[in-house]
Amino acid sequence: MRFDTPVKLSELATLTGTRVLGDGSRLVSGINEIHKVEEGDITFVDHPKYYEKALHSAASFVIINKEVEVPEGKALLFAEDPFSVYITIVKKFRIFEKSEQAISPLSKIGAGTILQPGVFVGHHVTIGKNCLIHPNVTIYDHTIIGDDVVIHAGTVIGSDAFYFKRRPEGYDKMVSCGRVIIGNRVEIGASCTIDKGVSGDTIIGDGTKMDNMIHIGHDTVIGKNCLFAAQVGIAGVVTIEDDVILWGQVGVQKDLTIGKGAVVLGQSGVPKSIEGGKTYFGSPTQEAREKMKELAFVKQLPEIIEKLKR
């Protein structure tokens, strides 16, 4: 998330009750999770396993719970609980705005776009030209939708990321401040859910088509002209390149990439990155031809065992 106006690091330290390590006069331009950071951003790290990754990331500022030497070109905030500090900053700069009517006057809707009865459009939403939004679609704040998009009934765009930090007493919610961005000529079926990014953007590329009851997790980036059949479930921080086809009930694990032109057959589970230009099947997935040979062999096992007994 980018701040409307850059903020001095020292001001964030005052807001959060933390201590600056380095130059507190430097300007912070945004806040992001580690996998989305850019120069000028502040991020957080609270586990020794990820200290080096955060300190050597593109982020200019890091909230950290260990006093370390400040890397060149960066400044730090020392905090006992970096996660809570991060959430305090998010809440300060992405304040929840209550809606008083179904279509926010702060939204922008392009010429020729039709909103059927029961559609909700939140604050700061942009919808392009010649779109058709069917009944009871919910579009959360800050969503951006391109031209010639069709969204079918009951779909929810921009709900919070499913992201929690486990504590001894329960779970703390990672407050979402990202967006959903939908390209041109996208069609989204009925009763789909697309989560906003935690701090960045969930993106659906131009020309992608989605069937009914599909879930897209936070910060996932989907390329152009993809085709997803019913009940596909995609976890967070997934990259799906152009022209990918996922058939019905495919499940995709988090933090992976599906290469351009890959086809995943129905009811498969994708646990790790797969190359483009191939067809996959099974859970865990493998190339479909090899999986089919394996299944054929399994069917022959009873006959083979009987022969061995003789």
215 is catalytic: no
Q: Which helix (H) or strand (E) holds 53?
A: helix 51-55
The label of the residue with tokens 């989907």 reads 222
CA distances from 302 to 118, 272, 296, 298 (A): 58, 32, 12, 8
Q: Which long-range contacts (CB under 8 A, 24 or more apart) does 36-45 make?
A: 36/197, 36/198, 36/199, 36/200, 36/219, 40/6, 42/9, 42/12, 42/77, 42/89, 43/86, 44/82, 44/83, 44/85, 44/86, 45/82
From the candidates 134, 142, 152, 218, which is the catalytic residue? 218
Amino acid at 53: K
Closest Cα to residue 238, out of 259, 260, 253? 253
Contact 211/228 with Cβ under 8 angstroms? yes
- Hey, which residues are catalytic here? 218
